[in-house]
Every structure is written in structure tokens, then in C-alpha cells.
Structure 1
Amino acid sequence: MVDLDLPRIKPRTQLKGEEREKFVEQVIKAYGHPASIRQICKETGRSYGAIYRVLVDNNVTLRPRGGKNNVRRKS
């Protein structure tokens, strides 16, 4: 796995102000790197929902689920 150079945040820590803005920028950059949401969660110690919310709230286009073997089937 690639080192994403993201900060590890203690559980139950609420980020505010400049610290939160910097964290959001780092998460968006890592997702475009491309790291998965789960990889970002593992490195930062934040939940999947928290990382997902950061991305969605900042209008980041999410990649489709499934990885390289995901085959979309016609209904």
C-alpha cells in the first residue's frame, strides 16, 4: 500500500477551523491519488462515514464500487 501521508487523528476528536480545512484538503487529495475510502479510513483512524461525508460535502465525484473485476449487468 502507498503511504498517503495523512494525519492519524485520535478517536472522538472533533476537528475545527483551519485544522479541519487542512484535513479535508488532504483527504480529497488522497482520494484523487487514487486511494480508496477504506484506505483513507485506515490511515486516519476516522470512520468510513466520516470520510464519505467529507468527500460528498465537498462535491467530489465518487468512483463506482467494485474495483477492477466489477461487471455491470443489464437488468
Structure 2
Amino acid sequence: MSAHVALTLAVESAIDSGVRIPCRDRPEWLSDDPEQRAEAAEACKPCPVIELCAEAAHSKPRQQFGVWAAKDYTRTPRKERSK
């Protein structure tokens, strides 16, 4: 079973059990705004599936966008990095 499938099943199971998943139906995890993504990353920390989320993020070569397991993988353009 792939890491993404395992994550999806774990999220569905948690939701079915009434457990709150912070990223469910919220856009901050994929926002263009770095401040929103920082808030999303902080909100991830108590998530019950954070380890599976990290595995899913690492299973995809060079994850390039969004917050996964409390880490923002969004690549910053070079000119923004130097500010």
C-alpha cells in the first residue's frame, strides 16, 4: 500500500471516529500566502495522522508545494529568499 493511500485511509478512519483532522476542508495548507502556511504547519502538530502524513510527503520525490506534517514544502523563488 502506498504512503498516500495509507494516509487517506487513516484520515477517513479518524473522521469516521469523530477525530478532528486539522487540514480537512481548509485551504491554508495549499495557500499562496506563506503566513497562512505557517499557521497551517502549527495547526498540524497535534494531528493524529502526522506520521503518516510525513511518510506520504517523503514518498513523493521532491515534494514542492503545501504543508505536510507540520512542514511547509513550498519552494521559495530565489529573489524572495534573499530578502
TM-score normalised by L of structure 1: 0.35
Larger RCO: 1 or 2 (CA < 8 Å, sep 6+)? 1
Structure with bigger strand share is 2
TM-score normalised by L of structure 2: 0.33
